[in-house]
Amino acid sequence: MKKCGVMSVIFLAAILLAGCWDQRELGEITVVTGMAVDKGENDKYILTVEGINATELNNRTASGFAPSIVYSAEGNSLAELTYRVNEGMSRHLIYSHMRTLIIGEELAKEGIIDFIDFLERNREIRDDFNILIARGAKGSDVLKVTYQFQKSTSLKLHTQLDTMMKDWGGDPGVRMNDVITAWTAPGRQPVMAAVRIKGDPEAGASAENMMKVTPDALVVLDSLAIFKGDKLEGFLTLEDSRNYLWIQNKINKTSITVKCNESQYMGLRVYDTRTKVKGKLENGKAKIDIKIRAEAYIDGTHCNDQFDKAKTYEENGEIAQKQINDMVGKTIEKVQQEYGTDIFGFGEVVLRQDYQNFKKVQNNWDEKFADADIQVDTALIIRRTGIRTKSFLKEVK
Amino acid sequence: MLIYLTTMIDTKLLKETILQSISGKEDGFNLTTEDDLKSLCKEKFGGAGYQLVGSFDEIITSLLYGNIIILFKDMEKALSLSMAIGEDRSITEPSTQTVIRGPKDGFVESITTNVSLLRRRIKNRNLRFEKFIIGSETNTSVYIGYMEGTANEKIVGEVRKRLGQIKVNAIFESGNIEELIADKSATPFPLALNSERPDAVASNLLEGKIAILVDGTPFVLVVPAVLVDFFSIAEDYYQNFMMGSFLRIIRYLSFMIALITPSLYVGILTFHHELLPTPLLLGIIAQREGVPFPAVIEVILMEVTFEILREAGVRMPRAVGQTVSIVGALVIGQAAAEAGIISNIMVIIVAITAIANFVSPTYSFGAAARLLRFLLIIVSAILGLYGVLIVLVFIVAHLSSLRSFGIPYLSPVAPFIIEQQKDVFFRFPIWSMRKRPAYLKTQNPEKFPKTGSPSPPPMKGEQSN
């Protein structure tokens, strides 16, 4: 009997003391899938949230209204603003499904580290959402643009970036925790994907935009934003973004165009690639050795090479190798010369492989990076030629 | 003088045997001593169930069991002859525990038929039955059956003791016995296995368990029962061991589905939105738009509705049974969802819960999931998945505190017995399951000598092992 009493006390305590403080019925919530932070006019920030109108996202219940509601509030801390936005929105906002954070270019140039702490600390917000820079636009405008399939920009961008990264590699695949790692790790600077609005942002912010074959406005993946510390330094092209991923060994699949003759090109689909980076300091100068190993198949060719001899494969492979060396090398050179900020994490490599020497230069690593001696060495093997060996081009009369 | 109860005896048999054999004699019997009577009985009724009774009480009891009493002039003892009415339900397929492959006979209400069904399956001199008369007013016959030399004597002794201690006036069903001999009655889990299938009971007897047969019911109890017994059925052993294992895992899974699905629904929808993939969450929100009730009310409403339908389906006269299914499908189906009282996903939840519940091979075990489900729903509405977890922990604690005739209810999982794992979540091939359950502490732990897997004869030139 006594045991029974103790048990029921434990049971009741577990139930009654825990309570239902975070209970939210589905009818009382709005799911936030995207968030944008811009520089405020009076206060520090303008926070914009995109609350999903779930009924519109469901094919059976949709009736053609706007798929989401975007609302902005201005203030000095995001922590407060995330609740203050209820001044304009009726339901509880839940942030656990946030997929995309867009930072306005203006704010990014001034530095973003202050509010990231909130995003990392908050118990609802995940730490693996995409973090993007709105190039030449306000983050809030990007959130407002509608799209045919996922309808809301934040969901669209999330899917788009994923697809892009898997198929070609234009998105650096940077989530918030990557940015934080880059900030805290010695010898690495963060990067983020940058998007811009193609078309008229005003017209894009309507449900009609979804109904057009060529939407009035479209959010496109533009470039790679590179940072020095928490400040935006500049942008690299999408091509560079792919090369960046290649150096990071994060390429899943990509396609490259190789010049096989004068004004004739060959498309190669690279489907299996690995990158190894070695680094050390020699007489105070950094030496970085990048080895790329790739396998590819021919996806189309203008030149009428006949792929029935092993030699043809080797020759074409060599041309491609040179081009990759060149391409990747140029990206690194551009970063070294124009920005001098080590977004590739070579510092990390040296830290691991040549710790004693790295310790000495840790504080001015970016300078060492700028005049580092970097070698790119690619080994590309062409394995297949699609479903044709010989091209019909040769038989055309 | 002949005394009998017309309603209890087979009058035709009486006419054919007794009246002919007795009244045929014109000169009467020359009986003077008891020995004369005995020899007469040997001669006339050799093989039939006869008994000499002396007291008035004995005569009355015999009459009530369907015997006829023959009183002789100048004799102290009367002759009691068994002539009970033989009209019973014939042996049919069990209505509750059906199989696809396996014997189709089931126990019936007559205890003698039931004993013979078991005897026909186990032709072994060690199979013993002991008779008890239980119920001060009903005087119901109860048999216990066990394999002597296999079953643990202490457990058999305990069964005898507990049956002997029963002091109720009436026993109508083995469920009465089950409740009276269980180690604990404050539990939703059954502590004795019941079966309508002679093959299942026979195989349990050979494992070293004890069967309790009650006159007047086709449900035979098997003790001691452990939790895993309620997930295995005879058919597991009649089909390929892979299929048997697969189905067994499905049964465990179904039990969990029946137990926790509605509470997970409530918990996730009211507390843990982050656990759902975004598209699914948005889909559910879109469906629930306009549903006036909180998730917990919705769930309780639907679960109670379903329980009502289920009860109605069982009690309904067969002729109107159709109506229940039609109305039921309407109530918990499309109509309710279209009226906006519940969401579509709720229909799916109720349906999967209900169907998973029916998978339970023993009906009384499914009841545990049915009851605990409501507790889980309510706690989940207050505490979310944290609450579900608390209740599950309490259920496991409760299960491990249960005993069935002294055997831990969770064995062989807790206490863990590695040898027995061959027949818990998976069913291993029969040739590899040589041991009887170790937790029963049987007198003869091995079922058969070690054999290997069957294999084809060696090829020409190959060495045979």
CB spacing of B285 vs A31 below 8 angstroms: yes
Percent of chain B with pLDDT over 90: 51
CB spacing of B278 vs A99 below 8 angstroms: yes
Half-sphere exposure of A93 (CA within 13 A, CB side): 27
Q: Please check the confidence at residue A297 and state whether its pLDDT lies above 60.
A: yes
Question: Chain A: nearest CA to B82, how far in angstroms?
Answer: 51
Are the CB atoms for B143 and B132 separated by under 8 Å? yes
**Tens digits of per-residue pLDDT, B214-255?**
999 999 999 999 999 999 999 999 999 999 999 999 999 999
Beta strand B127-134 with B193-195 is unpaired
**Tens digits of per-residue pLDDT, B163-205?**
999 999 999 999 999 999 999 889 999 999 999 999 999 999 9
Residue reference for tokens 């790119």: A376
Closest CA to B283 of B241, B239, B230, B344: B344
CA nearest to B289 within chain A: A27
**In B, which residues are within 8 Å of A25 by CB distance?**
269-270, 294-295
- In this predicted structure, what is the pLDDT of residue B29? 62
**In A, which residues are within 8 Å of B334 by CB distance?**
none
- In this predicted structure, what is the pLDDT of residue B410? 94
Phi/psi for A125 (5° steps) reads: -70, 135
For the beta sheet containing A264-282, the strands, ordered from the edge strand earlier in sequence to the opposite edge, are A254-261, A264-282, A285-301, A373-384
Percent of chain A with pLDDT over 90: 62
**In A, which residues are within 8 Å of B291 by CB distance?**
27
The most distant pair of C-alpha atoms in chain B lies apart, rounded to whole Å, by 101
CA nearest to B267 within chain A: A23
Name which of A341-345, A370-374, B255-259, B447-451 the model is least confident about.
Answer: B447-451
Of B271, B286, B394, the CB nearest to A61: B286
Of A15, A24, A54, the CB nearest to B282: A54
Name which of A378-392, B7-21, B88-102 the model is least confident about.
Answer: B7-21
Q: How confident is the model at residue B325 (pLDDT cuts 50, 70, 90)?
A: confident
Q: Please check the confidence at residue B58 and state whether its pLDDT lies above 90.
A: no
Of A15, A58, A94, the CB nearest to B283: A58
Q: Please check the confidence at residue A193 and state whether its pLDDT lies above 60.
A: yes
Chain B interface includes A387 (CB < 8 A): no
Q: Can you give the residue ranges of every domain in chain A?
A: 26-236, 238-389
Q: Which of A8, A26, A122 to mutate to test the interface with B (most CBs of B within 10 A)?
A: A26
Residues from B in contact with A at Cβ < 8 Å: 269-271, 273-274, 278, 281-289, 291, 294-295, 379, 381-384, 386-387, 390, 394
Of A20, A24, A52, the CB nearest to B282: A52
CB spacing of B387 vs A96 below 8 angstroms: no
Q: Please check the confidence at residue B24 and state whether its pLDDT lies above 60.
A: no
**In A, which residues are within 8 Å of B385 by CB distance?**
none
Specify the DSSP element, H or E, that contains B214.
Answer: strand B210-214
**Tens digits of per-residue pLDDT, A139-174?**
999 999 999 888 888 999 999 999 999 999 888 888
Name which of A271-275, A341-345, A372-376, B8-12 the model is least confident about.
Answer: B8-12
Question: Chain A: nearest CA to B384, how far in angstroms?
Answer: 8
CATH topology of domain A238-389: GMP Synthetase; Chain A, domain 3 (3.30.300)
- In this predicted structure, what is the pLDDT of residue B23? 62
- In this predicted structure, what is the pLDDT of residue B464? 54
10 Å CB burial of residue A364 (0-12, 13-18, 19+) is exposed
- In this predicted structure, what is the pLDDT of residue B76? 79
Whole-number Cα distances in Å, B29 to A216, B15, B42, B70, B362: 120, 19, 14, 13, 57
Q: Please check the confidence at residue A306 and state whether its pLDDT lies above 60.
A: yes
- In this predicted structure, what is the pLDDT of residue B22? 66
Are the CB atoms for B215 and B110 separated by under 8 Å? yes
Q: Please check the confidence at residue B27 and state whether its pLDDT lies above 60.
A: no
Are the CB atoms for A347 and A365 separated by under 8 Å? yes
Chain B interface includes A155 (CB < 8 A): yes
- In this predicted structure, what is the pLDDT of residue A229? 87
Contacts of residue A41, Cβ cutoff 8 Å, sequence gap at least 6? A74
Q: Please check the confidence at residue A262 and state whether its pLDDT lies above 80.
A: yes
**Average pLDDT score over chain B:** 87
Q: Please check the confidence at residue B61 and state whether its pLDDT lies above 90.
A: no
- In this predicted structure, what is the pLDDT of residue B254? 95
The most distant pair of C-alpha atoms in chain A lies apart, rounded to whole Å, by 100
Specify the DSSP element, H or E, that contains B127.
Answer: strand B127-134
What's the mean pLDDT in B75-82?
A: 80
- In this predicted structure, what is the pLDDT of residue B26? 53
- In this predicted structure, what is the pLDDT of residue B288? 86
Q: Which of B270, B280, B282, B291 to mutate to test the interface with A (most CBs of A within 10 A)?
A: B282
**Tens digits of per-residue pLDDT, A5-59?**
898 888 788 777 776 778 888 888 999 999 999 999 999 999 999 999 988 888 8
**In B, which residues are within 8 Å of A31 by CB distance?**
273, 278, 281-282, 285
